[in-house]
Amino acid sequence: MSKVVEGLRYSEDHEWVKVEGGTAVIGISDFAQKELGDITYADLPEVDDEFAAGEEFGALESVKASSELLTPVSGKVVEVNPDLEDAPEKINEDAYEAWIIKIEMTDPSEVEALMDAAAYQAFSEK
């Protein structure tokens, strides 16, 4: 069974969001990293790039597949995890510690549309 962390919000695309004030810290779930297998490359956006909720902001490549990353909330990228450029496998080691981007949200209410941990657990077990 995949690990799900309480206190985060989750999208149907298996991204998680941790809200820190007006900033959304975004990563992929443990379920998603297990589905991908060994991640070998992270294609990430630049700081100041802007995205609408549901838009592709990057991709992860693994030995098995390439997977688009979709932002669960709208806003501007304020930080990109520098560790992932040289060590994308950190996502496999701990998907909840290895965040991918931080976004300054333009509409924090979008978080309310995302699943809580219990709902995501049920969703990912289907």
* Cβ burial, residue 118 (10 Å; 0-12/13-18/19+): exposed
- pLDDT per position as a tens digit, 95-120: 999 999 999 999 999 999 999 999 99
Mean pLDDT in residue range 31-50: 97
Query: Residue 8: is its pLDDT beyond 80?
Result: yes
Report how far residue 34's alpha carbon sits from residue 78's, in angstroms, rounded to the nearest whole number. Answer: 27
Residue length of the chain = 126
Which residue range is the domain that position 93 belongs to? 9-110
**Count of structural domains within the chain:** 1
Let me know if residue 94 belongs to a domain: yes
Mean pLDDT in residue range 14-22: 98
Let me know if residue 123 belongs to a domain: no
Would you state the pLDDT for residue 1? Answer: 75
pLDDT band at 15 (very low <50, low <70, confident <90, very high): very high
Q: Output the domain CATH number for residue 43.
A: 2.40.50.100
Let me know if residue 121 belongs to a domain: no
